[in-house]
Amino acid sequence: MEKKIQNFKKGFTLLEMLLVVAIIAILAGIVIVAINPSKQLGAANDAKRWSDVNTIVNAVYQYSIDHGGVLPGPGTLQDTDTCTSTVSASEICLTGAVSCVAGAVTLTDLSSTTEDGTYISSIPVDPSGPTTPHTGYYVVHTLNGRVTVCAPSADAGIISVTK
């Protein structure tokens, strides 16, 4: 009697391997679309912008209250009704900048709100990373006597707060 030796090879077929790879690729695509990292980053940056704009407008408002209605800075706040564009508003100068002049444009110097950290420790900078002396935030003194601070480079449109 002869013994038959059966040689069974264990493993996966090429078709099974391709099927598993295709399923993993489809699931990875669904997860990446669901998470959408660029949208999440934009939302996080806009949340920081909201916080920064509120902080700046509160510091300017508090300074104005403490100084009998006088606004901070050397009177460079523009009188307009809108903070919806960089044309109608003055950009805020970075705290500690050597000069608040950028080219032919004089930036609004709110450094008086940062003295001794009474109102704000330093002027925040937009997360998009503007260069010194720019902050990426703009301010206007509206025609009705209110102060508006805005972040025109926000991902979800212009972020603006008026007080």
pLDDT tens string 32-59: 888 888 888 888 999 999 999 999 999 9
Q: Is the pTM of this model over 0.75?
A: no
Residues above pLDDT 70, as percent of the chain: 83
How far from chain centre, in Å, is Cα 10?
A: 56
**b/e for 39-69, b at 16 or more Cβ within 10 A?**
eeeeeebbeebeebbebbbbbbbbbbeeeee
Give the pLDDT of residue 47.
94
Residue 15: predicted pLDDT: 92
More confident residue, 100 or 58: 58
